[in-house]
């Protein structure tokens, strides 16, 4: 594999080789060395301000955060506003045309590069939101990572035949009033993963989709804070402990 290209501040960028091409990723890192990496997977808005803020928060907590541009095969550098209707419509269009299997392979490529970055421990987790949440679930089922956290992964119920393949620590966050993941889908997800010893699922009563999104219409401060603390505790347990 082509050696990764590392570009330090202020560019915050990383170039990931993938199947004869390359795509970019946003990087935020703490001052400390010997840190684990968390690969952060975006939703329909691309690697936008919300995702970059999430990466920066993870860096403040002592992790190197890497957010790949998952839409690169369709359009590079997608950076959409969570408050714009035209941006929402564009994001949905990209989402509907997105190749899920290729996306998982791109996440896997990002993980492989992340393990080789300067100053890392070699341990890598993945977390994602909506589309990224689904890709997190599938990455946990199909590839080799050290831990995963999925926020309201849309369409997860369509891939429950892969639940038995998950043998890494996986934490899931579901919004009880999610308008895109109805109760019947949430019950199916919970039932399929109920006997997986490495999986834990948290539900947030009264919350709608993307309840933790910075600046989102359905942002719930209490649920967002709780879910983020659970996420940090989970990654600290599984990425900073010995393999």
Which of these, 206, 211, 229, 230, lies nearest to 221 by C-alpha position? 211
Cβ contacts of residue 131 below 8 Å, gap of 6+?
41, 42, 43, 44, 70, 95, 98, 103, 153, 154
146 flagged as catalytic: no
List the catalytic residue out of 146, 209, 220, 238: 209
List the catalytic residue out of 35, 55, 130, 207: 130
Backbone angles phi, psi at 153, to 5 degrees: -75, 105
List the catalytic residue out of 87, 178, 207, 220: 178
Give the angle subtended at the CA of 43 by the CAs of 110 and 215, to the nearest 5°: 125
Bridge partners, 7 (sequence order) = 13
Strands 5-7 and 13-18: antiparallel
Residue 117 gets the label, from left (phi > 0), alpha (psi -120 to 50) or beta, of: beta
Q: 3-state class of 174 per DSSP?
A: strand
178 flagged as catalytic: yes
Kindly list the strands in the beta sheet with 35-41, ordered across the sheet, starting from the edge strand earlier in the chain. Answer: 5-7, 13-18, 21-28, 64-68, 35-41, 120-129, 147-151, 170-175, 199-204
101 flagged as catalytic: no
Catalytic site residues? 130, 178, 209
């Amino acid at each position: 594999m082509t050696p990764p290209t590392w570009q330090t501040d202020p560019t915050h960028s990383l170039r990931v080789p993938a199947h004869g091409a390359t795509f970019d990723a946003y990087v935020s890192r703490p001052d400390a060395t010997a840190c684990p990496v968390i690969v952060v997977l975006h939703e329909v808005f691309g690697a936008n301000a919300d995702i970059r803020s999430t990466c920066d928060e993870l860096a403040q907590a002592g992790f190197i955060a890497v957010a790949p541009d998952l839409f690169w095969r369709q359009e590079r550098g997608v950076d959409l506003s969570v408050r714009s209707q035209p941006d929402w419509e564009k994001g949905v269009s990209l989402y509907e045309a997105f190749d899920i299997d290729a996306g998982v392979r791109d996440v896997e490529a990002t993980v492989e590069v992340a393990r080789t970055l300067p100053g890392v421990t070699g341990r890598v987790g993945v977390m994602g939101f909506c589309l990224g949440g689904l890709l997190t679930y599938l990455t946990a089922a199909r590839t080799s990572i050290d831990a995963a956290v999925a926020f309201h992964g849309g369409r997860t119920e369509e891939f429950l035949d892969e639940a038995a393949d998950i043998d890494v620590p996986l934490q899931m966050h579901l919004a009880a009033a999610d308008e895109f993941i109805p109760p019947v889908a949430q019950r199916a997800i919970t039932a399929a993963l109920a006997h997986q010893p490495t999986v834990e699922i948290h539900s947030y009563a009264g919350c709608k989709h993307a309840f933790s999104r910075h600046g989102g219409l359905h942002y719930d401060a209490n649920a967002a804070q709780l879910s983020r603390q659970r996420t940090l505790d989970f990654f600290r347990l599984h990425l900073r402990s010995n393999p």
